[in-house]
Amino acid sequence: MQERVKSPKFDVVGTRPVRPDGADKVTGRAKYGADHNVAGQLVGKVLRSPHPHARIKSIDTSAALAMTGVKAVVTRDDFKDQSSEFVPAGEMLVNYRDVVRNVMAREKVLFEGHPVAAVAATSESVARAALRAIKVEYEILPHVIDVVEAMKPDAPIVEDGMITVGVTPPPTKPSNVAKRVEFVLGDIEKGFKEADLVIEREFNTKPVHQGYIEPHACVASVSEDGTAELWTTTQGHWIARAHCARLLGWDMTKLRVTSSEIGGGFGGKTVVYLEPLALALSAKTHRPVKMAMTREEVFKASGPTSGANVWVKMGVKKDGTITAGEAVLKYQAGCFQGSPVQPGCMCAFAPYDLANVKVVGFDVLSNRPKVAAYRAPGGPISEYAVESVVDEIAEKLGMCPIELRLKNAAKEGTKAAYGPKFGPVGMVECLEAAKGSPHWKAPLGKNQGRGIAAGFWFNIGGETTVNLQLNEDGTLTLMAGTPDIGGLRASLAMMAAEELKIPYEKVRPIIADTSSLGYNFVTGGSRSTFSSGLATVEAARSIIKQACGRAAKLWEIPEDAVTWESGEIKPAGDNAGKFKPMTLTDIAKVAGKTGGSIVGVGAISAQGAAPSFGVHIADSEVDPDTGKLTITRYTVIQDAGIAIHPAYVEGQYQGGAAQGIGWALNEEYIYGDDGKLQNAGFLDYRIPVASDLPMIETIIVEVPNPRHPYGVRGIGETAIVPPMAAINASAARATGVRMFELPLSPPKVLKAMKAAKKA
């Protein structure tokens, strides 16, 4: 199954065909979360907490329930409490004690927007009126928003009685620090002693939202016999099924979950919010219930990623050899534990081959929505800080920042601080490509600066099932279960076509529901093309094997006397030339008479995932009067392993870069002293628009993953890692001042420039 790539020359892989789901998406036919309607459906709405932190003394729903058109109300009383333990859900560890409290507040509300009740009514206006009729009595508690404040001994405690894990001996007093993690390699004291230059810096970043344009939406329908259908926009419908079945105490088999077309996720649609509420409301009424979040609800009550405080210290010799790297990461988790601080720690120094590393991370609660995964969760924050220090080292040593990185770059055999040794990786190749790029050599204009930064992110495998059925006319239907957010169906059809030596158009891929296909873990961890690709190849090879078996039967020769060669089934050995070769189409036509339908199944736990390194070059120009930074040129260089569909690989590079540009320049959650979010809309939470950006140049580096038949690496996430540091470095040169806080918004930049002028 797993073999080294012999030659990157393929018939289909590497071409750019039109995606199979394309026509439906340019004509408005494709059905997303909010586009599905069921006859007789009710409208579900959520009552949300107006307070960042309060004890719920009572909830009175009687007036709402008495209203005409109100069919059901659910509150904390409708969900059984769950014990506090981390249990596996697919590859994730999930604490259902927290999940049940996140979908519906129990003892306390923990952030502004926390659900307190949900209603189902005959119309949107009745549902809204019902929310106003629900009386909730709160005892308001002091709140804490900032991560550093939340770690102070006298901070308000978000989770009563929480004791920090990972500290010996365990603390005796509760705090907001859920966990301390540590990764150590070598001896940093020794490393710093060897250094000629030591730089120590502190950075702060703000929470940013995934910003998918499609708000969360679902339709639930529970029958009188307890079977249920759920239509939802999700990155993983098997995980959605697991969470809902657990929270509602149902058998999984009774719940059929269909993933709609998904209007962006970026990690934020790997959790459930509305789904358990809609199912609970439908279970009470036996009417379909449709729920959709408003944009304000998306911002206030679905996961942004962490804001953080990061301290970095690095030592380096005069020749550019980095002797030690140390970092302390304090990540906001939101109101429940589980920030991405661990991957943040693992990524921090991953682009470098270092002997001495120590990274300590803290997972810290505060009165914010629980963070959700966001593209390379945790990585962009720690690598922004480390790469910014690397850039400062290059400047202080008078070294080219590419040469400094080349001198220390991770390569095959490098032992990462978090444990494993890298296989073949493309960090050096990306740096070399950057050095040779037209962008790196281009002249700069007035008030402009150029920055470069590297980034690393993992790739995961996990449980994956693909089903390929050979239709009677020789075409194939491919069922995958990792929701397709941006071209997956094209890539899978291409790999099937390549393997079966048939035209791409003859394979029709769909995303199947949880009752039609074996288990699939989420689309996340840059795994869908990698893992579903592996399962597709396995399914295709099974089709070939079965087809050969059918030919053997027809020819009345042993199965091992039949071979598959360039799309044809041929008799071999002593029988060579005795029978006319058959194609898959020939076999398909006689399948019914030779043993029945031919179905190939790839049901695997995908192994051999390979990480991807990237290097970004950013040019920024500062307006000296306003402090506004504009990105004037941008290039993404990243290792794709092998690009199956290069246009969608480029798309991932460009999209990741654009999100990183937003993170670097504009995006942030702004809270008032009252603990309430002040910019819960696209007008005030400004993601990059078309006129903010230049064309984003891409260079696809291909260092094949030896453990994938087509050399695939996960590539979707790495591209959001380097932008913040690359832009920070370019801003330092454009403005003449180094900054240590994101976003680099105009007032902040102007203030820094004015302060530098005075000094």
Partner 1 sequence: MKHHVTTTVNGDEVEFLCETEQTLLDCLRDELELTGTKEGCGSGDCGACSVLLDGRLVCSCLVLGVETNGKKIETIEGMATGDKLHPLQRKFLEHAALQCGICTPGVLVAAKSLLEKNPNPTETEVRYWLAGNLCRCTGYDKIIRAVMDAAAEMRGA
Binding site for partner 1 (CB under 8 A): 16, 18-19, 21-23, 25-32, 34-35, 37, 125, 210-215, 261-266, 292, 294-295, 485-487, 645, 647-648, 650-652, 654-655, 657-659, 681-683, 687-693, 695-696
Tell the smallest beta-carbon distance from residue 46 to partner 1 (Å): 16
CB-CB neighbours of 69 under 10 Å:
16
Residue 371 has what DSSP assignment?
Answer: P
Tell the smallest beta-carbon distance from residue 120 to partner 1 (Å): 17
CA gyration radius, the chain: 27
The residue among 464 and 523 lying less far from partner 1, judged by its C-beta, is 523
Half-sphere exposure of 557 (CA within 13 A, CB side): 19
The values of phi and psi at residue 359, to 5°, are -130, 130
Helix axes 96-103, 237-248, angle to 10 degrees: 90
The neighbouring-strand residues paired with 453 are 616
CB 201 within 8 A of CB 389: yes
CB 238 within 8 A of CB 462: no
Tell the smallest beta-carbon distance from residue 572 to partner 1 (Å): 41
Biggest distance spanned by C-alpha atoms of the chain = 92
The residue among 237 and 733 lying less far from partner 1, judged by its C-beta, is 237
Tell the smallest beta-carbon distance from residue 716 to partner 1 (Å): 10
The residue among 76 and 645 lying less far from partner 1, judged by its C-beta, is 645
The residue among 599 and 647 lying less far from partner 1, judged by its C-beta, is 647
The residue among 377 and 486 lying less far from partner 1, judged by its C-beta, is 486
- Give whole-number Cα distances, 365 to 27, 144, 147, in Å: 44, 9, 8
Alpha-carbon gap, residue 359 to 352, rounded angstroms: 14
What element of type H or E holds 490?
Answer: helix 488-500
The residue among 15 and 563 lying less far from partner 1, judged by its C-beta, is 15
Tell the smallest beta-carbon distance from residue 203 to partner 1 (Å): 25
For residues 632-661, one letter each, b for 16 or more C-beta atoms within 10 angstroms of the residue's C-beta and e for the rest, the string is bbbbbbbbbbbbbbbebbbbbbbbbbbbbb
Tell the smallest beta-carbon distance from residue 473 to partner 1 (Å): 21
Residue 561 has what DSSP assignment?
Answer: G
Residue where the block lists tokens 């804490």:
144
The residue among 486 and 611 lying less far from partner 1, judged by its C-beta, is 486
Helix axes 401-408, 379-397, angle to 10 degrees: 110
The residue among 41 and 164 lying less far from partner 1, judged by its C-beta, is 41
Answer whether the bond into residue 169 is a cis peptide, omega within 30°: yes
Tell the smallest beta-carbon distance from residue 453 to partner 1 (Å): 17
Tell the smallest beta-carbon distance from residue 25 to partner 1 (Å): 4
Structure token pair of residue 15 = 């071409």
Alpha-carbon gap, residue 117 to 674, rounded angstroms: 23
The residue among 657 and 677 lying less far from partner 1, judged by its C-beta, is 657
The residue among 690 and 759 lying less far from partner 1, judged by its C-beta, is 690
The residue among 26 and 759 lying less far from partner 1, judged by its C-beta, is 26
The residue among 687 and 701 lying less far from partner 1, judged by its C-beta, is 687
CB 157 within 8 A of CB 176: yes
Q: Nearest CA to 645 among 710, 598, 717?
A: 710
Tell the smallest beta-carbon distance from residue 636 to partner 1 (Å): 9
Residue 32 has what DSSP assignment?
Answer: B
Tell the smallest beta-carbon distance from residue 39 to partner 1 (Å): 12
CA torsion sign for 474, 476, 487, 28 is: positive
What element of type H or E holds 699?
Answer: strand 696-701
The values of phi and psi at residue 591, to 5°, are -60, -45
CB 151 within 8 A of CB 362: yes
Tell the smallest beta-carbon distance from residue 211 to partner 1 (Å): 5
Q: Nearest CA to 364 among 209, 564, 145, 522?
A: 145
Structure token pair of residue 27 = 């004509």
Tell the smallest beta-carbon distance from residue 481 to partner 1 (Å): 18
Tell the smallest beta-carbon distance from residue 17 to partner 1 (Å): 10
The residue among 293 and 601 lying less far from partner 1, judged by its C-beta, is 293
